[in-house]
Every structure is written in C-alpha cells, then in structure tokens.
Structure 1
Amino acid sequence: MVDMGERRMPIAAAMHDPRITDRDEALVPRAGMTDDEVADVVRVMESLQRWHDAAARMSAASERYMRLNHTDMRAIRFLIAARNQGAVATPGALAAYLGISSAATTKLLDRLERGGHVTRGAHPTDRRALALTVTEHTRHDARETVGRQHARRFAVAAALEPAEREVVVRFLDALAATGDGVPEPQVE
C-alpha cells in the first residue's frame, strides 16, 4: 500500500497516479485540476490497464489454443480478412502488413503450412505470384476463438449511444497518437 496522507492506495493503482509517480509535476502537469479530477483521470488510466491486461490474456489464450505465436495469429487474421473480402492474398501483401522481410515471410509461411494452417497456390491472374489461403480448419478455429471475442467486444461498443461512441473514438485515437514519433529501441 502507498500512503496518500489520509488514505492508502494499493501499489498497482498507485502506478497510474501522477500524485505518486510524478509528485513534482515534471511530466504530468496538473495545475488547475482538483484532486477529484486527477482521481477521475487515474480511474480512466486504471480502466485502460484492465482492458490492456484482458486483451493480452485473450490473445494469449487464442495463441495457446491454436498453437501459434503472435505474428502467426496476425498473419492468419490478415489472410481470413482477405478471403472475406474476395481478395487474393500474396506473400508480398502479407509481408507488408506484418512489416517483415520476404525471408521472414517465407519462414512464417513454411511454419504455417507445416502446421496445416495455410496453403500456397497459383495466383489466379499473376503467374509470378502465389496465392495464400487459410485452411478451413484454421478458419473455423479462429472464428471460434478470436471471432467470438471480437463479437463480445462489438456488442459492448454497440450498446453505447452514438455520441458516446464518438467520444470513445476521439479518446482512443488521441491516445494512439501519443505513440507517434516514439523512437523504436535500437537492437545491436
């Protein structure tokens, strides 16, 4: 517990409270905010952390169920989305989406093909390209795991009033933009 004068706060909750982590306001200016307003913002940050933790647990559970890693799952979702749109997925398009090299894409596709998750075939219009397809078994498994999770999240968003959804979208977009320009760690 962290001592906050008259009240004590669990350490995990204190991690989101700038009154604890940034007492001198070097990073988080709070001028003009009441203690209650700061507490409300901390509640938002704690709620975001709970969502982040829940999303990580859901992703990990899906990955374990399907015996795939995070990049493999992203590839499967991309290939399913392409199929659902009637688009031909190619290794190049998959590499661009995942942000990986063609060599890494080849290794990923070899692994997914060995696991019975994807097939590679002739592209219908480009003799130089391959067409990638998710197997029916993998599509079904992804639908039963990731698809059902997405359906529950969609229902939560659908339950909001249109004006509430707009506030949430603005907030999440602004939050996502806080990551713009953050340098990637250098690997040596």
Structure 2
Amino acid sequence: MNERKLPTMYGLAESDPDQNLIKREGVSPEALEQIDRIMAEMGRMRQLERQIMRNSQSFMKLNETDMRALRMLISAKHAGTAVTPGQLARYLGISSASVTKMIDRLIEGEHVARRPHPTDRRSWCIEVTGPTHLMARQQVGRHHAQRFEVAREFTDAEREVIIRFLARTSDAMEDSMNGAQTALDDQGKEPEAGQS
C-alpha cells in the first residue's frame, strides 16, 4: 500500500484531544498511529462510497431512495424473488403512498415495470427493467467487483481478521446509536411521581 498523507479529521489528536471519549493510556504511540490510519482509511472509503453514489444518482437521474429500491429489486431478481410494493415500502421504511409515487415515477422513467405476481393473482410485483439493470451494473456493480478483487488478495486468516474487525465495529456503532437513542428517549420522558 502506498504511504499517503490522510485527512487528519479522523485522528485521535484532532477529534478527541482532551481524551473525553477515548482514553489512550497504555496504548503505544505506534498502535495509536496505526489506529489513526485505520480510522482515516475508513473515512476515506465512506467519502468515496458517497461520491460513487452521488455520481450514480446523477448519471441515472435518481435520488438515494430510488437507488436503494433498485438495489433491492436487482438483488431480488437475482434471487428469483418477486417484490410487492408493500415489501418495497417496508424495506425502504416509507409509507405505501410514498412507495406508490416512487414506483409511478420509476415506471415513467422506464426503470421498473409492474408485473402480475407469479403466485398471487390478486397482487402485482415490481421488477427492474433490463436497461436500468445494465446501467446499475455498469455504474455501481464495477465498484463491488473491485472490492471483491481486493478481498481476494488476502489469505483466509487475514480475511477472518477483517471480518471480525468490521463486524465488531458495526456492532459497536449500532450499540452506540441505540444508546444515544435511549438517552434521547429518556430526555423526553416526564419524571415519575416522587422523582425530580
């Protein structure tokens, strides 16, 4: 890997200089530098992913929710699974009225099509069109292919370490997010009788 100067906004010295969140006693300077580099590379990857998504959205003239819908529909197509509007709304976390508007807009743009549901004659499903599937593969799929190529370069043991790191990082972030939400919820509660 090329040594490069990475943005310092992810460095511990810049993000937590007073050690309010991250205590650093007992951690060697070498380990701190390595951790800073990990954080900086993760930040750089997030920035690149956002840029890739913005470029794809701009090229395909779609918004973020549209792109998430297309990714779900493409995955379902590969799995041979029919997707109803209700399933799509639940996946996206939007109302049925919002998903209907989105589907109508995507149909008008020839990105998706309504089809009779293969097993439920009372229902219909949504499928991504061939041209949009191809466009998404060219715009987003090639980046996934590059990730695969990088992952293939590592040994089985190295990949296990990477998997463990990413999984534990995701778990820690999820716990932190849930803890923050609980704290917000607690702030909004009325004190019980006898408490002040």
For the criterion TM > 0.5, the same-fold answer is: yes
Instruction: Tell me how far apart the structure 2 counterparts of residues 51 and 11 of structure 1 sit (CA, whole Å).
Output: 12
- Identify the match of residue 33 of structure 1 among 19, 27, 33: 27
- 3-state DSSP class of the match of 1:120? strand
Instruction: Tell me how far apart the structure 2 counterparts of residues 118 and 141 of structure 1 sit (CA, whole Å).
Output: 13
Distance 1:76 1:147, change over 3 A: same
- Identify the match of residue 123 of structure 1 among 101, 117, 127: 117
What does 1:42-81 correspond to in 2, within 5 Å?
42-81=36-75
- 3-state DSSP class of the match of 2:173? coil
| Higher helix content, 1 or 2 | 2
- Identify the match of residue 183 of structure 1 among 172, 181, 185: 181
Residue in 1 that maps onto 2:140: 146
Instruction: Tell me how far apart the structure 1 counterparts of residues 14 and 45 of structure 2 sit (CA, whole Å).
Output: 22
Deviation readout 1:134-159 (Å, 9 max, x if unpaired): 11110111111111111111111111
Deviation readout 1:49-88 (Å, 9 max, x if unpaired): 1111111111111111111111111111111111111111
Contact 2:16/2:22 (8 A) holds in 1: yes
Instruction: Tell me how far apart the structure 1 counterparts of residues 158 and 82 of structure 2 sit (CA, whole Å).
Output: 37
Aligned length: 176
Instruction: Tell me how far apart the structure 2 counterparts of residues 49 and 155 of structure 1 sit (CA, whole Å).
Output: 21
- Identify the match of residue 82 of structure 1 among 62, 76, 84: 76
- Identify the match of residue 100 of structure 2 among 93, 106, 126: 106
Instruction: Tell me how far apart the structure 1 counterparts of residues 84 and 6 of structure 2 sit (CA, whole Å).
Output: 48
Q: Unpaired runs of 5+ in structure 1? A: 1-9
Contact 2:117/2:125 (8 A) holds in 1: yes
Q: Give, in angstroms, the shift of residue 11 of structure 1.
A: 10
Tell me the TM-score normalized by structure 1: 0.86
Q: Unpaired runs of 5+ in structure 2? A: 186-196
C-alpha RMSD over aligned residues: 2.0
